[in-house]
Structures are given as structure tokens and as C-alpha cells.
Structure 1
Amino acid sequence: MSTAPDQAFATLIADAQDFCRQLAANNTRDWYMAHKDTYQTRLKRPAEELLEVLRPRMAALTGGPCRTKLFRINRDLRFAKGKPPYKDHLHMLWYAPDGGAAPLGWFFGIETDRIRIGAGYMGLEGAALTAWRAVVDSAAGEEIATAIEERLARGDTTWEPALKRVPAPYDKDHPRGDLLRRKSMVLFHDMPLPDGDLADAIEAEFRQLWPVFAPIQRGMAGI
């Protein structure tokens, strides 16, 4: 019999933070291999269950299919030379709605000293980037910009724009030039330690972010 979700998640944050703190202090293959069973049973399996519990909920919220991802704990050192071999955090994503020009990502991360929530488009390229810029320039652009600014004013953070200048063919003084210079649009904030069911708490955080991204998603889907 599988563990009930609320029981499986009850200690996930505490277990993950404890494991990640120890890993940060002992980031070697020998230490990880000696504690791999702990990672598998106390972090990975509950995280996979959490992803699956929220998958249909995110599909229902966004009106499209949902795909999940648990980030691997080991780094690919071919692309991270000089860094420790393991990541001292537990990160996961729900892509919902999945498909289209760019899937919308929903992020939950447990780190050594905080819990992070986020949502957005992690990377915009090709048709997705063209669609994003068209939406920003459209009649819905002002509403979208206002919603993003309100979240930032409340303490959310985002990545810096990728471009120094507003791209052609848009005017260099475009009122939403900051958004046009982006090749991603993500919002993150620290999540308080939940006092109830973890899946419910994460879903509540995502529901607060959905009004920001819903008009973007509708606009991009229509282009």
C-alpha cells in the first residue's frame, strides 16, 4: 500500500533541507554514494509523488496537458567545470499547459535555507519569442505589464532582460521595452513554511500566479 500523500509530504521539506545541508558540506561522490538510499527514499520518491499529485490539478487550472520534471541531483560536469558534482537543492517543475510555442513552467524548489516558488517561460526562442513580443506589443500588453509590476512590487524577483536594446521592429522608446528585451519571463518568491498539506500549499501559491500568466498564455496561443 502506498503512503498517503499528506503523510509522504509531511517531512519532505525538513528531510530535503537536512540532506542538502549535509551534502553542501560534503559534496563528494563518496559521501553521496554512502547516503544515496536516503536521497532515494526521503527526497526523490516523495518529490515524484508530489509531482504526480499536482499534475492533474495544474492541468485543470491551466486548461491544458501537464508534464512534470524532477531535476537530477548530479551535475553534468562537462558543462559545469569547477563546480561540485552534486546540487545542494531539490528542484521540480510542472509544465502546464504543455506544448504550443512555449510551455508554461511552474517551479517548486527546496534549498538549504529557503523554499522557492516560481512560474513563467524559462526560455523563449524562435516562434515562442516572436509570439511573446507580439503579445507584449498588443492591446493586452499593458494589462500584462501591470500584473507583472504588481508582483514585483510585492517582492517577487525576475531575471534581468537578455538584451540591452529594444529589438527591431519595435520603437526604442516602446512603453513596454523592458518586456520586449526579455528572452524569458519568470517570477519567483520565497514561500513560507506551510502549516498544512504541502501539495495544497503549493497549489495555492500557483493559483495566485496564474492571473499574471493566463493573459500571456491566451495571447501566445492565439498568435
Structure 2
Amino acid sequence: MSAFDTLIPDAQDFCRRLAADNTAEFYKAHKEDYLSRLKRPAELLLDSLAPRIAEVTGGTVTTKLFRINRDLRFAKGQPPYKDYLHMLWYSPADGPAPMGWFFGIETDRVRVGAGYMGFDGPALTRWREVMAGPEGAGIAAGIETQLAAGAEMRDAALKRVPSPYPQDHPQAAFLKRKGMGLFRTMPAPAADLPGALLAEYAGLWPAFATLTRAMSR
């Protein structure tokens, strides 16, 4: 049996129980469950897939496992713990903005995604230059193909196209964005979780390959 074969059911079981009793008392009583059944296998998955994702993108990789503790300074009124397990590989990790490869286990679904979770400063300026330039139409077409195949993306951050671009620009819908990520719900694989994730990421990569190269210039 692979070290990852039980990660999804174990994580969903823990997250459902946590959602039903999201208290410090519950977490302290079951902390070893979280460490042994969720955190350690997730860290192993991050390390295991990093070199293989680097092969797909041709870039450097860094990893991130999101903490289970919620920062209550910025989430007032929320429960103290997150009832999901989320992680990211960043690759290429250099350049004006790192590209993220997302994997999330939630109480009732498993999610994968890829893209730029947010643009700031020079990266936002570069994103707009790329989408308004000659490569923008091809990048937009690749993203639209993914959306037509069932991918989803978050709503645009802006209501209007930012200056100096005209409101009727052909890529207006993308110029209003401050991030560009695609997400989809995937069936939980019975075996070979790393292989299933790599297949999902390989399918998403064509929508971002041109954008990634353009962002790094």
C-alpha cells in the first residue's frame, strides 16, 4: 500500500469531525491524529512531487502546507481551525510572481488547481502588459478551453478595465483580474495519488505555459 493511499479518506474523516467540533479541546485531544494522518503524509507528498512538477514546468519548486490554525486576528468570528487540508507547489518559483499548483482535501470534495493566486506591484503590471499584448489572445483561448472543459475561476477583482486600457479591449475580462487561477473538483483516486495529481497538472499546464514564459521576460 502506498503511503498516500489513505491520505484523502483520513483527511476527510478528520476534517468532518473537526467541522462538527471546531474547538481547541477537540484539536488538542486529536492533535496526534492530525500530525500522523494528515500533516506528515502531506509533507511527504509535497516533497515527492516537487521534482516531478519541476520537470513539467522547467522551473524551480518551493512548497507550502497551509497551517491548520486560523489566524484569528484576520478572521474574527471564525472557528479557530480550518476544516480542510490545502497545499501548494510553486513552480516556477522565481520571476515577478510564482505559479502555484494547488491540492486541497475538503470535507466533501477534492480540489486541484493551477495558476497565479495573486499579482502585486510589478507582477500585476506585467500581467496586464501580457494580456493586452500580442500573446494575450492565445493565452485567453487556452484558459477558455479549460473553462469549457469544466474548470472554474474566481470572479474578477475589478468592475472596470484599469487605465490605460480601453473598456472595450478584446481581453477586458482578463485585464480586470488581479490573479489567474483555474480550479476543478477531481474524483478521489483509489490508488496512485501522485500520478493522479500529475495527470491533472499536466492537463492544466498548456493553459499557463505561454503566460509563464511571458511573465518571466
Confirm or deny a common fold (TM above 0.5): yes
What CA deviation, in whole Å up to 9, does each residue of 1:93-125 have, x standing for no partner? 000000110000000000000000001111101
CA offset at residue 140 of structure 1? 1.2
Q: What is the TM-score normalised by the length of structure 2?
A: 0.98
Task: Map 1:130-141 to 2 at 5 A.
Answer: 130-141=125-136
Equivalent pair of 2:143/2:207 in contact (CA under 8 Å): yes
Residue in structure 2 matching 1:95, options 69, 79, 90: 90
8 Å contact 2:85–2:104 — kept in the other structure? yes
Corresponding residue for residue 205 of structure 2: 210
- For the aligned residues, what is the CA RMSD? 0.8
CA distance in 1, matches of 2:71, 2:128: 33
The CA distance in 1 between the partners of 2:163 and 2:76, in whole Å, is 36
Deviations 1:30-83 (A, max 9, x none): 000000000000000000000000011111111111000000001010110000
Partner of 2:122: 127
TM superposition shift of 1:194: 1.1
Between the aligned partners of 2:144 and 2:54, the Cα distance in structure 1 is: 26
Residue by residue, what CA displacement relative to the aligned partner does 1:5-37 show, whole Å, maximum 9, x if unpaired? Answer: x62101000000000000000100000000000
Name the residue aligned to 2:158. 163
- Match of 1:200? 195
Equivalent position to 2:72, from 77, 93, 107: 77
Map of 1:1-223 to 2, 5 A cutoff? 7-222=2-217
Question: Structure 1 length normalisation: TM-score?
Answer: 0.96
Query: How far apart are the structure 2 equivalents of 1:17 and 1:190?
Result: 15
Q: Distance in 2 between matches of 1:12 and 1:193?
A: 10
Write the distance in 2 (CA, Å) between the matches of 1:120 and 1:91. 15
Structure 2: state its 5+ residue gaps: none
Q: Is the 8 A contact 2:5 2:190 kept in 1?
A: no
- Offset from partner CA, 1:153-177 (integer Å, 9 cap, x none): 1221111111111111111100110
Query: Which consecutive unaligned segments of at least 5 residues does structure 1 have?
Result: 1-5
Distance 1:67 1:202 in 2: 17
Aligned residues: 217
The letter of the residue matching 1:45 is: R
Q: Secondary structure in 2 aligned to 1:9?
A: coil
Distance 1:72 1:191 in 2: 23
